[in-house]
Amino acid sequence: MLKLKELISTQKADDALSDLKSHSTQGKEPGSRVYKFPNGYISARVEKYNNELWLWWQEVEKKYQGKGLGSAFISLLKDIADKHNVKVRLTPKRYQSHGISSDALEQWYTRQGFKMMPGKDRWMIRKPNTH
C-alpha cells in the first residue's frame, strides 16, 4: 500500500507531465512530443518515472539549430517542474548520430542547473526550485 507522501509525489509528477504535454502535440517517434516556439520547433520525449520527470531526449531540426530552442524547451521543463515541485532527470548523451557531443551536453545541462549524480552512470538531476 502506498504511503500518503508517495501518493502525493505520484500525483505531482502526473500533473507536471500533463502540464508539459499541454504545451505540445504528438510527435512522429513513439512517446515523443513537438513543442512550438516563436523561432521554431523541438521534439522531445519526457516521461514520468519514479515520481520524477525523465527527459529521454530532445532534438532540434538542423534548420532550427542555434536559435535557442533547446534553452527554451529546458526553461519550460524547469518552470513546470518547479511549479509542481518535481525533480527532472536526464542522461547527457548525443541523440542518434547528430547534435553536440555528450561532454558538451553535460556542460550545457550543468549551466541549466542540473548536477551529475555520483556513480558509473552519467545521470544528471535537477531538484525543483521552490524559491
* Ranges of each domain in the chain: 4-126
Considering the domain 4-126, what is its CATH architecture? Answer: 3-Layer(aba) Sandwich (3.40)
What does the buried/exposed string (b/e) look like for 87-103 if buried means 16 or more CB atoms within 10 Å of the residue's CB?
bbbbbbeebeeebeeee
Burial class of residue 85, CB neighbours in 10 A (0-12, 13-18, 19+): middle
pLDDT of residue 26: 93
- The x, y and z cell numbers of residue 18, run together, are 500533463
The mean per-residue pLDDT over the stretch 52-67 comes to 89
- pLDDT of 81 strictly over 60: yes
- pLDDT of 105 strictly over 70: yes
- pLDDT of 63 strictly over 90: no
Least confident range of 50-54, 63-67, 81-85 = 63-67
Residue 104 parent element (H or E): helix 102-111
Compute the mean pLDDT over every residue in the chain, rounded to the nearest whole number. 87
Residue 45, classed as helix, strand or coil, is strand
Residue 125 parent element (H or E): strand 124-126
pLDDT of residue 31: 87
Angle at 86 between CA 22 and CA 84, to 5 degrees: 50
- pLDDT of 4 strictly over 70: no
- pLDDT of 76 strictly over 90: yes
